[in-house]
Amino acid sequence: MQITAARRPTFAHPTTLGRLLAYTAAVWGVLFSAVHVYWLADGRLGLPDGRSIYSTPALLVIDVIAIPASLGAAGMALALIRPWGRRLPRRALAGAVWGTTAVLLVHALPSIPDWIGLIAGARDAADFSSEERFTTFLYEPWFMTGGVLFGLAAWFTRRHR
């Protein structure tokens, strides 16, 4: 008995947009890791005034965890489009990428009321403390960007039977 083409599982190749999004998500992960390596080396650029990760033990722990986690996320984004990614269980990879998307987007949710307040004119950016400015204009948008990139990469690189 011969298997016809209609019965043979076929997988669509990622679109050019899907590849671009996956590479961009991978770059996002590497840059995220690089920032945390910089902070681990006691860099302070991008942190609220007078803050160092060594001044707060919780920040140090988060920083040490963030480096391999963001590099792993970059690897997952690449696995969506690179040939070696086909060796990974497809559902597990998709679940991991969608999970990463959810974590990044949920992380950014607390800043949405501040953004809405700024857009609506209910809040003035001049009234923000240095920590609020850091969180609202740099930290949370970075997470939101990552979540959107990973979600779009997952969507545009999904494969159909």
Number of residues written out for the chain: 161
Residue 1 has pLDDT above 80, yes or no: no
CB 104 within 8 A of CB 83: no
Report the alpha-carbon distance of residue 57 to residue 128 in Å, rounded: 25
> How is residue 114 written in tokens?
């501040």
Q: Mind listing the pLDDT tens digit for each residue in 118-158?
A: 888 888 878 877 777 778 888 889 999 999 999 999 999 98
Report the alpha-carbon distance of residue 98 to residue 82 in Å, rounded: 18
Q: Mind listing the pLDDT tens digit for each residue in 62-118?
A: 889 999 999 999 999 999 999 999 899 989 999 999 999 999 999 999 888 888 888
Quick one: pLDDT band at residue 12, thresholds 50, 70, 90?
A: low
Q: Which residue has the higher pLDDT, 26 or 6?
A: 26
User: Which pTM was predicted?
Assistant: 0.82
CB 63 within 8 A of CB 44: no
Report the alpha-carbon distance of residue 159 to residue 12 in Å, rounded: 5
Residue 133's contacts (CB-CB under 8 Å, 6 or more residues apart) are 125
Report the alpha-carbon distance of residue 8 to residue 86 in Å, rounded: 17
